[in-house]
Structures are given as C-alpha cells and as structure tokens.
C-alpha cells in the first residue's frame, strides 16, 4: 500500500486531498499543527469508511514538531511515497508591498517557504525508499512572476497578494532547485495551484474543493514518464495545465 503525508490536512484542500488519496487506496498521514483537529479529521474520514489514515502533530514552522513527526512516521513505515506540502497561510493583513509589515512577510515565508524546506528535508530519506516518490508543493498562480508582471493578468492589480505571492514565488524557486537536485532519480516534484477554491482561506469563495483535490492528486500519482520541475495551474491553462514560473 502506498503512503502519503499531507501537511495542513486537518481541513480545506489538504483534507480533501487526503480523502481523494484514500479513495485511491493510500495510507495517509494527516499532518495537523493542532493534533486535536487532526484527530477530528481522522474521525470524519473513518465515518466515511476510510480506515487507512492517522493524524500526526506537525507544525511546519517548528523544528521539534517536524522532527517528532518524522520519528513517529518512521516507526510506522520505512517508506513514504508521496509528500504534499500543502500547509499555507497568507501572512495576514496588510498585504500590499508597501503597507505590509516585516512580520507579515516573515510569517508567510516561515510557513510557505521555510516550512516546505524543513518538512522536505526531514522526510527525504523516507521518500528515497519509494520506487516512485512524488512531491507536490501546493502553490498558486499568483506566485508566478511571469503572470503577475503581465498587465493583462487577471490578478495584476490585486495588491493584496504582495506578501503571499512573494512567499509562493520563493517556494516555486525552491521547487525548481529541488527537482534539479533530484533530476537523475525516480522523483517527480512539481508545484501545483489548486485553483481559487472555497475554503477558510478564501472566506469560502471560489470553486469546488473536489476540483482542487483532483488537481493536486494528479501530480501525486503522476507516472514515471510524467513531468518534474514544472508549475501547473489547470484553472489558468485548462489545455496542458502548465504555466510559466
């Protein structure tokens, strides 16, 4: 049975992604910074008939939490097939380049960039044991430097993404480097935008969460001939899904 760890899977897109991987027969570790919320998420999944799932306390900004989660999962399995770096925040208002305080940038980068690097480094040895390891870094089209600098881009004048977009652009660059470093291995590592989706993150505006989960698991399940080191947003490019960094 293949296994997956999803950060921030107690709710929102992470929770939906967990459900969809369970439907595909995975064993899923629900990363949750508040274990209570993770346990409640597991209960909900159990009530829907999914039993190959457990919660693990995991705050991506906390070295000790990540270390403990790695130890706990390492006791249960000697291999991890999929890592989905999903946990993310917008950093909090104010959001624009000039109005935002350093604290907003630091908070967003701490979770969205350093958190991804911290968790990936901690779990890479377990992922290396998989025959088909996959990493999906959950990104956003508003983290594309190419799109955001285009006056015709739909979010061009959305100044509220200065903090969040900067952090996701940095995470994108991390993804490029990670894919490069693992280019001669079986790893497939991509950045994927789930699309504007109804969750707490968007005050429940946007598209259906099932579509977001589907977009993410596509790259968690991608075959050996699939892409690596690419950026996908099906919402932006419904034809091939690929978008410029």
| Paired tokens of 118 | 């911290």
Write the binding mask 116 to 135 for ligand NAP: x where contact by CB under 6 A, - elsewhere: --------------------
156 is catalytic: yes
Stretch that binds ligand NAP, among 7-15, 18-26, 123-131, 148-156 (CB under 6 A): 7-15
| Interface region with ligand NAP, contact rule CB under 6 A, candidates 3-11, 46-54, 146-154, 176-184 | 3-11
Please give the Cα distance from 185 to 146 (Å, whole number).
29
- Give the other-Cβ count within 10 Å of 165's Cβ: 25
Query: Residue count at the site for ligand NAP (CB under 6 A)?
Result: 31
**Stretch 172-211: interaction string toward ligand NAP, x if CB under 6 A:** ---------------------xx-xx-xxxx---x-----
- What is d(CA 123, CA 29) in angstroms, rounded to the nearest whole number? 13
| C-alpha span between 81 and 130 (Å, rounded) | 5
Is there a contact between 23 and 210 (Cβ–Cβ < 8 Å)?
Answer: no
163 binds ligand NAP (CB under 6 A): no
Q: Are 107 and 169 in contact (CB under 8 A)?
A: no
Q: What is the SS3 assignment for 123?
A: helix
Does position 3 interact with ligand NAP (CB under 6 A)? The reply is: no
> Least separation, in Å, of the C-beta of 34 and ligand NAP?
5
Q: Is the peptide bond before 145 cis (omega within 30 degrees of 0)?
A: no
- Residues with a catalytic annotation lie at 156
Name the site residues for ligand NAP (rule: CB under 6 A): 7-8, 10-14, 33-34, 37, 58-61, 86-89, 111, 115, 138, 140, 193-194, 196-197, 199-202, 206
């Amino acid at each position: 049975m293949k296994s997956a760890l999803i950060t921030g899977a107690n709710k929102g897109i992470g929770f939906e992604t967990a459900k969809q991987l369970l439907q595909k027969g995975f064993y899923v570790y629900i990363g949750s910074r508040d274990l209570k919320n993770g346990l409640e998420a597991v209960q909900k999944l159990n009530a829907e008939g999914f039993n190959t799932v457990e919660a693990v306390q995991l705050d991506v900004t906390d070295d000790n939490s990540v270390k403990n989660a790695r130890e706990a999962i390492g006791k249960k399995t000697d291999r991890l097939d999929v890592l989905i770096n999903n946990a993310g925040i917008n950093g909090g208002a104010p959001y624009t380049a000039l109005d935002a305080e350093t604290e907003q940038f630091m908070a967003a980068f701490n979770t969205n960039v350093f958190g991804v690097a911290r968790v990936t480094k901690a779990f890479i040895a377990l992922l290396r044991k998989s025959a088909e390891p996959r990493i999906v870094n959950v990104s956003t089209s508003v983290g594309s430097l190419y799109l955001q600098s285009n006056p015709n881009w739909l979010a061009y004048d959305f100044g509220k993404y200065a903090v969040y977009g900067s952090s996701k652009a940095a995470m994108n660059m991390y993804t490029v480097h990670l894919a490069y470093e693992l280019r001669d291995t079986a790893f497939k590592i991509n950045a994927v935008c789930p699309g504007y989706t109804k969750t707490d993150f968007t005050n429940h505006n946007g598209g259906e969460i099932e579509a977001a989960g589907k977009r993410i698991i596509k790259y968690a399940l991608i075959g050996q001939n699939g892409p690596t080191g690419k950026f996908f947003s099906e919402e932006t490019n419904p034809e091939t899904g690929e978008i410029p960094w």
